[in-house]
Chain A
Amino acid sequence: MLHKINGSSLIGHGPIKVLYLGIALGNTDTGFGSIGRIDHALFKGNNLIKMHPHINDEILTYIRSGYVEHIDSVGITANLNNKKLMLMKAGNIFQHEEEIIDKGEPLEALQIFIRPKEKDLKPIVTFWIWKMIKVKISGD
């Protein structure tokens, strides 16, 4: 089975366009299997997304251009870019803030919300530095 989903089905009028795959397929679940939603972001200039919670989401920040400074409730501060990817496994409770820093190029990125295997796992944030090393830091 092949089913094309047009980019025009992404929802949102601001800098973030959201693909709810289930809605695009006409299902009653906004997600599809373990894929919750896929956000395609394009931010120009400096932007601050203030501290906000996530619960039982596993979120991959996939940057192709631009820079983000991340601060979270497990005590991690990190600068993210196209060589440093981050997976936040929010578990039972997690909060983070993102500051988009304009260094001469817009931020274009996906924020990919994957469903966890089970609810209320321990929050864990991991990073992958492309071609270098992986750093793993747990919440306690």
Chain B
Amino acid sequence: MDLENDKSENQWRLIASPSPESPLQFTSQTWIYDRFSTGQQSFQMPNEVKGLTCLLYVFNGGVKINDDIELLKKDSLLVKDESVNIVTTENTDLVLFAIDETGEHYDHGMFSGNQL
């Protein structure tokens, strides 16, 4: 991979998680990955998120999921207990959120908390 490249081309990059092994650490059971898919590609979610609830967010570009669901910029897909095949036909920036829904978290934070 080009060391000057600012994106993780065609591979999932773990950015933050509860693990001290990841670049940045959350205190809750939350994982964030990203991926820059170049042109025509077909791929799956990272193996490490199996069993977690995921949100696939399209930052730029677009994807088609399981030959059925089209996601464009700012669209997202909540994925739970399903395997998905992700296809891109143009350069696409993706951000993947994964959470353990049974994990402890404090939901009265100033901005992160429940606003209702």
Binding site for B on A (CB under 8 A): 1-7, 10, 17, 19-22, 25, 28-38, 40, 53-60, 62, 64, 82-83, 85, 87, 89-90, 110, 112-119, 121, 126, 128, 130-131, 134
CA distance A89 to B109 in the complex (A): 11
Q: Bin the interface of chain B by size.
A: 35 or more
Can you list 13 pairs linking A and B with CB atoms under 8 Å apart?
A2-B69, A7-B74, A30-B115, A31-B114, A32-B55, A56-B110, A57-B113, A60-B32, A82-B6, A85-B23, A119-B108, A126-B24, A128-B24
A1 touching B112 by the CB < 8 A rule? Answer: no
B115 in contact with A114 (CB, 8 Å): no
Q: A54 and B78 in contact (CB under 8 A), knowing A7-B73, A89-B27, A116-B28?
A: no
Does B50 touch A at the CB level, under 8 Å? no
Given contacts A1-B79, A58-B28, A115-B28, contact A30 B114 (CB under 8 A): yes
Check B15 against A85 for contact (C-beta < 8 Å): yes
Tell me, rounded to whole Å, the shortest Cβ–Cβ distance linking B83 to chain A. 10
Q: Please name all residues of chain A whose beta carbon is closer than 8 Å to the beta carbon of B72 when the two chains form the complex.
A: 7
Partner of B6, one of A20, A31, A130: A130
